[in-house]
């Protein structure tokens, strides 16, 4: 199943709809979807290394726009949609603690957690819930998400051929490690609150 998904993403990279798919996943991941865009960005970039910077730009812009949607969920809909998402992720009892940390560490929370495997959607929703400055939220999101995707693009652009060989031979192991990183991100988010 993982192999078929990987091959589907590689085939998608050759289609005109590839950037739209990456943009949709990047947008959704920053506001409600659990799978990071890296799952699409990496196979697409190793399949089309000539487009790696274009893909990083799409992931960054869509992620920031999705982050603004997540911010709106937190600011306008926390009592319904936002609280439901926090409950799904098992963090309902920690939203207040996280909100209070914004008073002192808001800039650092966004910058650091935007670079890590900690689910960015939780940062975006809580930023809205905490009524963090929308201006600073947007600026910091551009910085942190841009750094994440452009750093990944740089690595993929430089080592993409080798990375593709590893993915082709050891896809299940890489997918398993990727899943572990996502799970550890959720665990770290809960511990760090």
Residue 14 placed within a domain: no
- Say yes or no to pLDDT of 183 above 80: no
d(CA 106, CA 166): 38
pTM for this entry:
0.77
- Say yes or no to pLDDT of 70 above 90: yes
d(CA 130, CA 117): 22
- Could you list the residue range(s) of the whole structural domain that residue 44 is in? 2-7+21-30+37-192
176 token code pair = 């398993």
- Say yes or no to pLDDT of 60 above 90: yes
Residue 48 placed within a domain: yes
Residue 15 placed within a domain: no
Residue 12 placed within a domain: no
Could you tell me if 139 and 149 are in contact, meaning their C-beta atoms sit under 8 angstroms apart?
no
Residue 171 placed within a domain: yes
pLDDT tier at 166 (50, 70, 90 boundaries)?
A: confident
**DSSP, residue by residue, 60-80:** HHHHHHHHHHHHHHHHHHIII
What is the model's pLDDT at position 155?
87
Residue 13 placed within a domain: no
What's the domain count of the chain? 1
- Say yes or no to pLDDT of 192 above 60: no
């Amino acid at each position: 199943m993982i192999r078929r998904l990987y091959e589907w993403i590689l085939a998608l990279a050759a289609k005109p709809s590839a950037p739209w798919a990456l943009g949709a996943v990047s947008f959704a991941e920053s506001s409600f979807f659990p799978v990071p865009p890296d799952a699409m960005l990496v196979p697409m970039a190793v399949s089309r290394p000539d487009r790696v910077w274009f893909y990083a730009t799409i992931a960054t812009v869509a992620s920031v726009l999705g982050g603004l949607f997540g911010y709106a969920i937190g600011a306008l809909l926390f009592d319904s949609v936002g609280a439901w998402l926090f409950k799904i992720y098992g963090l309902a009892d920690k939203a207040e603690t996280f909100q209070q940390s914004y008073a002192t560490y808001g800039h650092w929370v966004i910058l650091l957690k935007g670079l890590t495997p900690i689910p960015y959607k939780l940062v975006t929703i809580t930023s809205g819930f905490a009524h963090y400055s929308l201006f600073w939220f947007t600026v910091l999101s551009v910085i942190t998400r841009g750094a994440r995707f452009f750093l990944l693009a740089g690595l993929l652009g430089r080592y993409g051929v080798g990375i593709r060989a590893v993915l082709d031979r050891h896809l299940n192991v890489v997918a398993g490690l990727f899943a572990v990183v996502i799970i550890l991100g959720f665990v770290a988010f809960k511990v760090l609150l």
